[in-house]
Structure 1
Amino acid sequence: MKGYWIVRVDVADSERFMNYAQLAGPALKLYGARFLARVGPHTVVEGAARARNTVVEFPSYQAALDCWHSPEYQAARALRLGAAEVDIVVIEGFEGTQPGER
């Protein structure tokens, strides 16, 4: 089953955040990640959001966790610390009954 990162970000230091992004990209690629939604327009219809919202798909839940824990991603993350407020949730995909199905 696929895995996902749900990422919410408020950037405080754009230059440092770009350094993070440049290093994070190759780390994500190593684990088969692809962006499903990234930084585009969004509308908060309930609750709170951050300025940037991203959904990253991985081939599996385990790959999503492995990427997060990898030395490659943690090196990128170290560059981001203090440059942005970030929430990341790693979640397993769902293949069960969908709305309107029995």
Structure 2
Amino acid sequence: MAAYWIAHVTVTDPERYSAYQALAPAAFARFGGRFLARGGEADVLEGPEQARHVVIEFPDLAAARACYASDAYRAARAARAGAAEVALVIVDGV
């Protein structure tokens, strides 16, 4: 069953954030992740407004968790440190 990363992101330093954007997609691909939504127009109907919303589908919950814990994604997170405010959850699909 598919699982999803759902992230709400406000980029505070676009130049530093671009380093994350260069690294993260390879980590996602390694674990079968594919973008379903990435940025674009969004309407915040409830809760705090975030500038960017991302949904990434993984083949299953184990792959989604393994991606987050991987060395490749750890390096991407390190590159993103201090460049964005991020809220991220992993959700099991139905």
**Which bin holds the TM-score, normalised by the shorter protein?**
over 0.9
Residues 53-75 of structure 1, C-alpha deviation per residue, up to 9 Å, x if partnerless? 01100000110000000000001
Return the letter of the residue paired with 1:11.
V
Identity of aligned residues (%): 49
SS at match of 1:76: helix
CA positional deviation for 1:44:
1.1
Q: How many residues align?
A: 94
Partner residue of 1:27? 27
**Structure 2: gaps of 5 or more residues:** none
Distance of 1:71 and 1:47 partners within structure 2:
32
Partner residue of 1:12? 12
User: In the alignment, is residue 58 of structure 1 matched against residue 58 of structure 2?
Assistant: yes
Partner residue of 1:2? 2
Return the letter of the residue paired with 2:66.
D
Q: Give the structure with higher Rg (CA).
A: 1
What does 1:41-80 correspond to in 2, within 5 Å?
Answer: 41-80=41-80
Partner residue of 1:97? none
**Structure 1: gaps of 5 or more residues:** 95-102
CA positional deviation for 1:47:
1.7
TM-score normalized by the length of structure 1: 0.89
